[in-house]
Amino acid sequence: MTEGPLEPVSRPLVRPRRLRTTPALRRMVAETAVRPGQLVLPVFVREGLDEPRPIASMPGVVQHTRDSLLKAVSEAAELGLGGVMLFGIPATKDAVGSGALDPAGVLNLAITDVVAEVGDALTVMSDLCLDEFTDHGHCGLLDADGRVDNDRTLEAYAEMARAHAHAGVDMVGPSGMMDGQVRVVREALDASEHTDVSILAYSAKYASAFFGPFREAVDSSLQGDRRTYQQDPANGREGVREALLDVAEGADVVMVKPALAYLDVVRAVREAVDVPVAAYNISGEYAMVEAAAAQGWIDREAAILEALTSIRRAGADVILTYWAAEAARLLR
């Protein structure tokens, strides 16, 4: 059989690749952008340190002294970040986390220090939780049977909110996943004439396996786990429900934590609420990228920007990330 001439190939009329031909064109049509002002840098300050202490599982992240903390937040302001989230690590802990309420406690002093240093340039946020301050490592007070007592814990959160507000904080972040925590914190702030202090609610916070490096970062004393109050990773609709409850109780911003393993929840929450949505790119997510990059398995800088872009693409307006300062430099 004699072969005839080949049929001409039908050429595509629509060529999406045209919009990918140059870097300038790709930038121009990009659907999602990450700006430094959308990034928040979590920082740890530890009582009694003479110099910053590296966190082994989080390369490049340290426990700060009060002095080195000020250098870090000044840099954050110069880079145009949106804010900093402060975590305090006390020298001593007890069953009720009394260091969290002490006006001379490490976190309350750090708030005042940071506000004085960069208060006009950054949103100064504080972690409102007891886990760093309790010798059992839980986010609340325990009852006689060793279970977290939701309502007694709320009383402590109200006191902690007032202490942070008195120290000068712009935004408190109740992160303990106690039922009713946003309402109690809002009422405490308003009753003490701190109506301008806003609330970033850790609304959908999951009992995640990716929190491990954070436990090192705050010298956690956790005994057991937090599955009775943090959310089950299997539940997406519940995350939306928690966010809606927090908005009804007065949250100014709601957050999903972790971010990368819960992008579907970020999207669902974004579609359900009319307040800004934050997502926390947590320690384990950070550590995985850093470890893979150290082995030469991935392009570190490209992976950082891709991860942050994915969180924005899912719907987050604000991203808490340990890469905030570096990402701001890369975005320039």
Q: What are the C-alpha distances in Å from 1 to residues 4, 120, 123, 276, 277? A: 9, 84, 79, 70, 68
Q: What is the pTM of this model?
A: 0.94
Number of domains in the chain: 1
Give residue-wise pLDDT tens across range 112-154: 999 999 988 999 999 999 998 998 888 889 999 989 999 999 9
Listed in sequence order, the residues at least 6 apart from 23 whose beta carbon sits closer than 8 Å to its beta carbon are: none
Report the alpha-carbon distance of residue 207 to residue 131 in Å, rounded: 14
CA 211 to chain centre: 12
The CATH number assigned to the domain holding 169 equals 3.20.20.70
- Please report the pLDDT score of residue 2 as a whole number: 60
Confidence of residue 1 (pLDDT cuts 50, 70, 90): low
Average pLDDT over residues 216-228: 76
Write out the DSSP string of 264-331.
HHHHHHHHH-SS-EEEEE-HHHHHHHHHHHHTTSS-HHHHHHHHHHHHHHHT-SEEEETTHHHHHHHH
- Give me the mean pLDDT over the 32-36 stretch: 96
Q: Give whole-number Cα distances, 145 to 142, 148, 153, 326, in Å.
A: 8, 9, 15, 45
Q: Give the residue-averaged pLDDT of 196-224.
A: 86
In a domain, 39, yes or no: yes
Q: List beta partners, residue 64.
A: 45
Residue 28 lies in a domain: no
Does residue 220 form part of some domain?
Answer: yes
Would you say residue 19 lies in a domain? no
pLDDT beyond 60 at 61: yes
Could you say which of 136, 257, 270, 312 is catalytic?
257
Cα–Cα nearest to 170, from 98, 104, 90, 116? 116
Domain that holds residue 288: 33-331
Angle among Cα 207, 177, 112 to the nearest 5 degrees reads: 115
Is residue 197, in this structure, part of any structural domain at all?
Answer: yes
Strands 39-46 and 318-321: parallel
pLDDT classification of 216: cutoffs 50, 70, 90: confident
Per-range mean pLDDT, top range of 10-14, 90-94, 271-275: 271-275
Q: Which of 205, 226, 270, 312 is catalytic?
A: 205
pLDDT at residue number 139: 83
For residue 258, is the peptide bond before it cis, meaning its omega torsion is within 30 degrees of 0? yes
The label of the residue with tokens 């001409």 reads: 8
- Does the annotation count 257 as an active-site position? yes
What is the percent of the chain where pLDDT is above 70?
98
DSSP 178: -
The per-residue pLDDT of the chain, averaged, comes to 94
186 found inside a domain: yes
Tell me how many degrees the CA angle 80-84-89 measures, rounded to the nearest 5.
150
Whether the predicted pLDDT of 244 surpasses 70: yes
The yes-or-no verdict on residue 294 having pLDDT over 70 is yes
Q: How confident is the model at residue 309 (pLDDT cuts 50, 70, 90)?
A: very high
Q: Flag whether 27 is in a domain.
A: no
Asked if residue 26 is part of any domain, the answer here is no
Q: Is 205 a catalytic residue?
A: yes
